[in-house]
Structure 1
Amino acid sequence: MNHDVFWLPASNHCSLHVYQWLPAAPIRAVVLLAHGMAEHAGRYQRLGQALSAAGFALYAHDQRGHGRTAEHGTLGLFASHQGWDSVVNDLASLAQHIGQQHPGAPLFLFGHSMGSYIVQAYLLHHSASLQGAVLSGSNFQPPALYRAACVIARLEAWRQGPLGRSALIDWLSFGSFNKAFKPNRTGFDWLSRDSAEVDAYVADPLCGFRCTNRLWVDLLMGLEHISQPRHLAQIDPNLPILVMGGECDPVSAGKRLKDLVGALRLAGNQRVQLQLYPQARHELLNETNRDEVTAALIAWLEQGLTQGRPARSE
């Protein structure tokens, strides 16, 4: 099934470019997806087709500073001010739109990489209205580490300006990711074992770009906020959460996904599950075992529909 697209007005004079995949049969539930850094929602066509074939609708928007949404802003910039709050509020705007289009339909959130952090921030205030959440290719570090990294990002923003694109930040964040996969064929071998998928990413002008210093400041401030135990405790303890990733993903190295699950459990959530895939790298949905991953994801969503949850109020 092909996708449809539309523009959704959002805060601060921004319009979000949104993709939707709708099943032919009545909708069983809706999945709202937040993509990762330096990519865009159009890359999730295969997932949209698989979900719609199983009776699920998928909505995915190009986040601020990404994809076609960046046509009305700057590629690699959330916003000049309050960028983190803006991207989190965008999820709320799209969730509200979905509620109007599909009244009563259960809603799942799916966040990949950077999108998983934005989803976590959304969960702090809206988890009671959701059927479940999936965190893919995520990470967890102590808040102090994010505070220290934010100091570097602020210094780079002072040195280069907020719209500068720091080689230092790029090296500190992504510089070591390819080391485990030498000899390297591209700069993005760490994304997937599937060379065709890596080549498609490299050839896409809306993928792999260097983000602005301002976006990094926003992101690191957001990460520091969501990683604090007292904030994680705000998430509905009965919300089903699936944390999934590759054991060879350099973003998490498997260990930091286990740390994330541990932090969520310590904060009170006893319905969080961990699914690690041996040998898999960062983009599970573009990996060589993507059919296995997608089937497991759909099975988890179907299981989630059997769980009693409060009716959506949004």
Structure 2
Amino acid sequence: MSTEEFCYSSSDGKTKIHAVKWVPEGEIKAVMQISHGMLEHIERYDEFAGYMAEHGVLVAGNDHLGHGKSVLSENNRGYFGEGGSRFLIEDMHKLMNILKNDYPDLPFFILGHSMGSFLTRQFINLYGNKIDGAVISGTGQPPYWVIKSGIFITKFIASFKSWRYRSRFVNYLSVGSNNKKFKPSRTKFDWLTRDDDKVDEYVSDPRISFIFTLNAFYNMFEVMISMNEKERIEAIPNNLPLIFISGDNDPVGKFGNDVRRVSGLYRQFGKKNISVKIYSGDRHEVLNELDREQVYEDVLMWMDELFAENESMH
């Protein structure tokens, strides 16, 4: 396996988007694009991507705008620009086009984690007919009124501060309570995974110690509303394979409950090919959990079963 870093122009017209590709040594049987979560970057997926590449799946992903190396300056960390989440989704679309151009005949999958799962849910509303399956990791579904309140509060604070303002209050409302269940806590990020080494890696990573701007929070809240609109979900091909993976100790997914609710919503709107895997004891980052090998294996097996089905249909 080899890794390659590359760049492409963001849809914001200014920023160079940083991306990484994990290329298998032998035959490539599929391509998987990753959409990472808030306050992280694509290189955190190295272990998972390496495993997939060892099993013939080429993996690629970009640092979203305002994250990792996709920033014009330090001041732009956690800032999405005036086009907001539309820029992030179009940057994902650009990467998909680059990959499809390079590997035109291979099955194409997308995996989105946490904030990246919200972006992926919106992405498949728009481009679900261009992919062969999606993995939705660590997703959630706050009540409509909670998201609407978030939109109102961010707009209100931005009206006398600015959209670049970093509000500890909004940050607390969004992610501040995630660690509550894990007492006594060792760090503020115990809710991410039971693997202390992975938590320590996260805590000491200089590329993730920042607070989102109001602009980024507002845009995330907007996506969380629009990704669930009936006509958007109805636009997803009914037979598109989707697998939801989550931990039953993940506060973002309300300990498995939100994940079941979201998958139920998709079924209600006619989606026929839905799988749900909820891992006992796992916290938010199932790809960084103590049982991660099992999670990797399950994702790969889900893909392999789809290949087998497709083979038998042709």
Please report the TM-score for the alignment, with normalisation by the length of structure 1: 0.95
1:281 counterpart = 2:283: yes
Q: 1:143 to 1:235 in 2, by over 3 A?
A: farther
5+ long unaligned stretches in structure 1: 310-314
* Letter of the 1:264 counterpart: Y
State the shift of 1:129 in Å: 1.6
* Letter of the 1:109 counterpart: I
C-alpha distance after superposition, 1:81-133 (max 9, x if no partner)? 11111101111100100011112111100000000111111111211121100
5+ long unaligned stretches in structure 2: none
C-alpha distance after superposition, 1:270-302 (max 9, x if no partner)? 211110001100011111111111111111111
Task: Give the share of equivalent positions with the same residue, in percent.
Answer: 30
Match of 2:10 in 1: 10
* Letter of the 1:125 counterpart: L
Check conservation: 1:229, 1:263, Cα contact below 8 A: no
Match of 1:108 in 2: 109
C-alpha distance after superposition, 1:209-248 (max 9, x if no partner)? 2110000111111111012222211111110000010000
C-alpha distance after superposition, 1:34-87 (max 9, x if no partner)? 0000000011111111011100000011010000012457100111x1111110
Distance in 2 (alpha carbons) for counterparts of 1:43 and 1:159: 36
Q: Describe the SS at the equivalent of 1:5.
A: strand
Distance in 2 (alpha carbons) for counterparts of 1:307 and 1:149: 43
C-alpha distance after superposition, 1:110-168 (max 9, x if no partner)? 00000011111111121112110000000123434322221111112223311111111
Q: Matched residue pairs, number? A: 308
C-alpha distance after superposition, 1:253-286 (max 9, x if no partner)? 2100011101111111021111000110001111
Match of 1:262 in 2: 264
Between 147-156 and 195-204, report the one with greater CA deviation. 147-156
Match of 1:312 in 2: none
State the shift of 1:208 in Å: 4.3
Q: Describe the SS at the equivalent of 2:21.
A: strand
Q: Describe the SS at the equivalent of 1:179.
A: coil
Residue among 267, 270, 273 paired with 1:271: 273
Distance in 2 (alpha carbons) for counterparts of 1:133 and 1:208: 29
Match of 2:76 in 1: 74
Check conservation: 1:143, 1:227, Cα contact below 8 A: no
RMSD: 1.4
Check conservation: 2:256, 2:278, Cα contact below 8 A: yes
Q: Describe the SS at the equivalent of 1:44.
A: helix
Distance in 2 (alpha carbons) for counterparts of 1:56 and 1:70: 28
Distance in 1 (alpha carbons) for counterparts of 2:276 and 2:65: 29
